Amino acid sequence: MRTSGRGVVVCTAVETAQPAPRAARRRPPGSRTAIALTAVAAAVVAWGLIADAAGVGLGTANPPFFLTRIPAPDPHLLWIVAFIAAVAAAAWLGRSTVPRTGFLVGATGVALAARLALAASRDGVTAWYSVYGLDPEAANEYLPALPALDLGVGTFLDRFAELAPSLPIHPSAHPPGTLLLTDALGISTPEGFAALMIVAGVLAVPLTYVAARRLRMEEGRARGAALLLALSPAAMIYGVTSTDAMFATLGLGAAVLLVGGGAASRIAGMLALAVSSFFSWALLAIGAFAAVLIALREGVARALWVAAGAGVALLAFYGVLYAISGYDPIGFLASASEAYELGISRARPWGYWVLGSPVAFFVALGLPISWYAARALGIGNQIAVALAVIVAVAALLGFSKAETERIWLFMAPLACLAAAAIVPRERLPMVLILLGAQALVTELAMETVW
C-alpha cells in the first residue's frame, strides 16, 4: 500500500493478489453432511465385504449389494453406442432451452432409449423380457401366477390370503393389483409383461417434472430432476426388468396429488395412495413422505389432516373391496409377513442391514444424485428431510433387508427432486454423464438378477 501526495490510499497489484477471505473458500453448503454420510457408507461397504471374506454370512454375496461380478462379460457394441448417444442427448437437454412440451417428450424418449439400450448392452434384446420368461428368475415372477385367476376374479380375491403362500415369490409377497391388471389387459407373454413395466416405469420421468413444479421448484431445477431420474443407474437397470418400476410411477402419482396443495388434489391423492397400495404395501411410505413434507411446509395441523384423510381413504378402499369380493388385506398381510420371516430374511441380520439397506439403495441410485441429495439434507431442504425420514423408518423396521436397489425404487424420484434442488445448472450435463458411466459399468460388469 502507498499514500499519494493528497493522502489517498492506493493498493498495489501485489496486495490485490492476496488470498480470498476464509469465508469465500468454504465448502459448498451441505458438504459436511454429504462427507459424513459418504464416510458412513464407505464403512458399511467395507464392513460387509470384510465380513463376507471372513465367511460371516450377511445374506448376500457382496453385502450390502445384491449383485455378483460377471467373470467374462460379452458386451454388444452397437447397443453401447446407442446408450452413449442417449446419455449425450440427455446432457444436451440439460443445458437446452427447448419449450416445455418438447423437453418432456425428449426427456421421456431419452429415458426410454437409455433403459432399452443399457439392458441390451450385455445380452441383446432378449434382456428386455427374459427375466419374465426365459431366465430362471422367471419362476418367481407374476406370469406363472396367472392361472390362479382361472378361479374367477371374485374367488381369487376372496381366497387370496390362503392362495398367496402357494404363488411364486413376488406375487405372494405383494397385493394382487399387478396380477389383476395383467389379467385385465390380456397379457400372457414375457414380451407383453415387459412392455407394460417399461412403459409404466418410464412415465415416472415426466411425472418427476410435474412433481417438482407442484413443489414450486423453478423450471430449470424441475427439468434437472426429471433428467436425473432418466439417467439414474437404478432406474435404468431395474426400469426394464422389474415391477418396481411400475410401483415407482404409481407412488409418484399419489405424491404429486398429495403435495401439490388444494383440497381436491389431496383427496384424489388419498384415493390414489390407497389404490397404489393394492400393488405394493411399500407405497404407503409415500403417504408418510407427503405428511412430513406438508408438516414442514404448512404446519403439523395440516399434515395431520392429510394423514387422517389418507387413513380414512385406505380403510374405505379396502372396506369396499372386502364387501364386494371378500378380499382380506389383514389376512394377506399376516400371510406375507410369515412367508417373509421364513425366507431369506432370517439370514440377513438387522444390525447390519439397518445401515446396509440405505447404503445399497443410494449407491445404486447414482453416486452424484446421492451426493447432492445428502448436501440438500445438510442445508435442511424439506424434500430431502422428508425422504430421510421414510428411509430411516424403512431401515429401522427392517421389512426390506437387502435388495433395496430394486425394492426402494419408488423413493428414487424423491431423491432426484432433493438433489435437483441443489445441483448447479452448469454442472448438470457432467452429472448426467457420470450417472451414465456408473450405469454402464454396473450393467456390463455385474449381474443384478433383474
Of 22-31, 148-157, 309-318, 358-367, the range with the lowest mean pLDDT is 22-31
Q: What is the mean pLDDT of the chain?
A: 92
Kindly give the residue spans of alpha helices, DSSP state H, lying in 260-299.
263-277, 284-298
58 contacts 51 by C-beta, under 8 angstroms: yes
- For the chain, what are the domain ranges? 38-45+54-447
Report how far residue 221's alpha carbon sits from residue 239's, in angstroms, rounded to the nearest whole number.
23
Report how far residue 357's alpha carbon sits from residue 9's, in angstroms, rounded to the nearest whole number.
62
| pLDDT tens-place string over residues 243-281 | 999 999 999 999 999 998 899 999 999 999 999 999 999
Q: How far is CA 255 from CA 14, 244, 380, 406, in A?
A: 57, 16, 20, 19
Give the per-residue pLDDT at 336. Answer: 81
Tell me which residue of 382, 380, 397 sits closest to 340, measured CA to CA: 397
- Give the mean pLDDT of 153-168: 94
Give the per-residue pLDDT at 14. Answer: 40
246 contacts 178 by C-beta, under 8 angstroms: yes
Give the per-residue pLDDT at 338. Answer: 74
CB atoms within 10 A of CB 338: 11
- Partners of residue 446 on adjacent β-strands: 69
Q: How far is CA 332 from CA 155, 196, 311, 346, in A?
A: 15, 25, 19, 20
Read off the pLDDT band of 19 (50, 70, 90): low
247: its cell numbers? 410401483
Report how far residue 192's alpha carbon sits from residue 172's, in angstroms, rounded to the nearest whole number.
21
Portion of the chain with pLDDT greater than 70, in percent? 93
Of 107-111, 182-186, 200-204, 341-345, the range with the lowest mean pLDDT is 341-345
